[in-house]
């Protein structure tokens, strides 16, 4: 599998920023503008399965940590989201996993790379989910639709700045309800007269 | 005989009879979406035996049901379905919120869960607990029966 490292770092030059790990635990970091080309080459080299495509919001990384714990945000300047493509080589005749690779890319603001839904059809829903939950757009899918939430939903709930108990306009209550502290005595059936 | 035929007496007796008949023949529609369903099943089956209260006959069509048991977390996407099921039921009808998820949203204080089904449909009986014990459900059921008995024919829904 070391051929993979060479193929990527030599074949794509600057576009592949780093390549780490070995065996089944390899990860490549690529530039977003080249992500699609790299992924296409990987597909052609036998990565026939897109196991997962997801995003991580690093905007609050390292904040609100317990005392004594520190962490440095790995996000480069101007980047907030990191996309991760998890690829697998599945030998259909042998029924064996022949290789795994994670491809990461840091994107600028909310502008994601070009779609890969023509390479792996399941990327269609995964990209819609990323738009739904993180508000990351894919450059050639301007009219992308939400997957899990409904059209009237305001905001993108897995962003770290989405308030955890924010209410949606379509389904109330309008404001956050005061939460009383209940005791065991309150936990009795109550009938509305 | 003279006294019995005066209008007042007759009405009150009919009310009592209607209330009595209704409270012991609750046809329920279990709207089960989550883990509370297990506890609902425990309550409905022989050990706790909901049938003792005349409520042992679940109807899986809302048009044949009197009491809507909302059992489990209701998400925003499920909310229109629940509302529609409620609208399909014929009056008189009653709604039971089974478990804290349906009462207030429970610990799902988040973007996707309805914060209490009373934001969508009127609720008659709240049974808190995560999930409520069968005893609590049966206590609630008896409270509902009392309410049904009191209402008699005067259900204004
Ligand atoms: S109240 Fe608890 S047991 Fe019932 S549906 Fe909610 S989480 Fe599950």
Rounded to an integer, the average pLDDT of A80-84 is: 94
Q: What percent of chain B has pLDDT over 70?
A: 90
Does residue A156 surpass a pLDDT of 90?
yes
| Atom number of ligand 1 nearest to Cα B71 | 5
Q: Long-range contact list for A71-79, CB < 8 A, 24+ apart?
A: A75/A106, A76/A106, A78/A108, A78/A109, A79/A106, A79/A107, A79/A108
**Per the domain annotation, does B134 fall within a domain?**
yes
**Per the domain annotation, does B146 fall within a domain?**
no
Q: How far apart are the first and last CA of chain A?
A: 72
pLDDT digits (tens, 9 = 90+) for B90-114: 988 999 999 999 988 888 888 889 8
CATH of the domain at B50: 3.40.50.12280
Look at chain B and report how many structural domains it folds into: 1
CB of B104 within 6 A of ligand 1: the answer is no
Measure the CA–CA gap between A62 and A83, rounded to whole angstroms.
19
Decide which of A165 and A153 is more confident.
Answer: A153
Residue of B75, B98, B106, B112 to test ligand 1 pocket, by largest number of atoms within 8 Å of CB: B106
**Per the domain annotation, does B44 fall within a domain?**
yes
Q: Does B149 touch chain A (CB under 8 A)?
A: no
Does residue A181 surpass a pLDDT of 80?
no
Predicted TM-score (pTM) of this structure: 0.81
**Per the domain annotation, does B84 fall within a domain?**
yes
Rounded to an integer, the average pLDDT of A102-130 is: 93
Q: What is the mean pLDDT of chain A?
A: 87
**Per the domain annotation, does B80 fall within a domain?**
yes
Q: What is the mean pLDDT of chain B?
A: 87
pLDDT band with cut points at 50, 70 and 90 for residue B70: very high
Phi, psi of B142 (to 5 degrees): -70, -35
pLDDT band with cut points at 50, 70 and 90 for residue B157: very low
Query: Structural domain of residue B34, as residue ranges?
Result: 27-140
ipTM of predicted assembly, 2 dp: 0.75
CB B123 to CB A188 under 8 A?
no
pLDDT digits (tens, 9 = 90+) for A8-62: 888 888 888 889 888 778 999 999 999 999 999 999 988 999 999 999 999 988 8
**pLDDT for res B83:** 93
**pLDDT for res B135:** 92
Of A191, A37, A180, A178, residue with least CA distance to A103: A37
Go through the domains of chain A in sequence order and give each one's CATH number: 4-60+74-187 (3.30.460.80)
Does residue A119 surpass a pLDDT of 90?
yes
- The residue whose CA has the least distance to atom 6 of ligand 1 is B101
Cα R_g (chain B), whole angstroms: 17
**Per the domain annotation, does B111 fall within a domain?**
yes
CB of B19 within 6 A of ligand 1: the answer is no
**Per the domain annotation, does B123 fall within a domain?**
yes
**Per the domain annotation, does B22 fall within a domain?**
no
């Amino acid at each position: 599998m070391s051929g993979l490292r060479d193929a990527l770092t030599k074949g794509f030059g600057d576009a592949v920023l780093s390549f780490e790990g070995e065996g089944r635990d390899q990860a490549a970091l690529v530039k977003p503008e080249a992500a699609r080309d790299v992924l296409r080459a990987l597909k052609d080299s036998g990565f026939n399965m897109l196991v997962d495509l997801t995003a991580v919001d690093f905007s609050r990384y390292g904040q609100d940590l317990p005392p004594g714990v520190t962490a440095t945000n790995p996000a480069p300047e101007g980047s907030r989201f990191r996309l991760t493509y998890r690829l697998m080589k599945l030998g259909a005749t042998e029924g064996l996993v022949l290789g795994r690779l994670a491809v990461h890319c840091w994107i600028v603001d909310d502008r994601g790379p070009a779609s890969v839904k023509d390479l792996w059809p399941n990327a269609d829903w995964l990209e819609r989910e990323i738009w739904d939950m993180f508000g990351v757009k894919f450059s050639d899918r301007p009219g992308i639709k939400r997957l899990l939430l409904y059209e009237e939903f305001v905001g993108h709930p897995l962003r770290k700045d989405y308030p955890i108990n924010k209410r949606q306009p379509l389904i109330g209550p309008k404001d956050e309800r005061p939460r009383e502290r209940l005791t065991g005595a309150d936990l009795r059936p109550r009938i509305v007269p | 005989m003279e006294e019995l035929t005066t209008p007042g007496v007759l009405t009150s007796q009919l009310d009592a009879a209607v209330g009595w008949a209704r409270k012991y023949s609750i046809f329920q529609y279990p709207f089960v979406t989550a883990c509370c369903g297990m506890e609902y099943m425990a309550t409905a089956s022989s050990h706790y035996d909901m049938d003792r209260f005349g409520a042992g006959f679940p109807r899986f069509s809302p048009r044949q049901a009197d009491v809507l048991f909302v059992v489990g977390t209701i998400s925003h996407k499920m909310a229109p379905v629940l509302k529609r099921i409620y609208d399909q039921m014929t009056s008189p009808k009653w709604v039971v919120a089974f478990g804290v998820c349906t009462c207030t949203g429970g610990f799902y204080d988040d973007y996707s869960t309805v914060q209490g089904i009373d934001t969508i449909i009127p609720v008659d009986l709240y049974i808190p607990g995560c999930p409520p014990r069968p005893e609590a459900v049966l206590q609630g059921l008896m409270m509902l029966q009392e309410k049904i008995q009191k209402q008699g024919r005067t259900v204004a829904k």
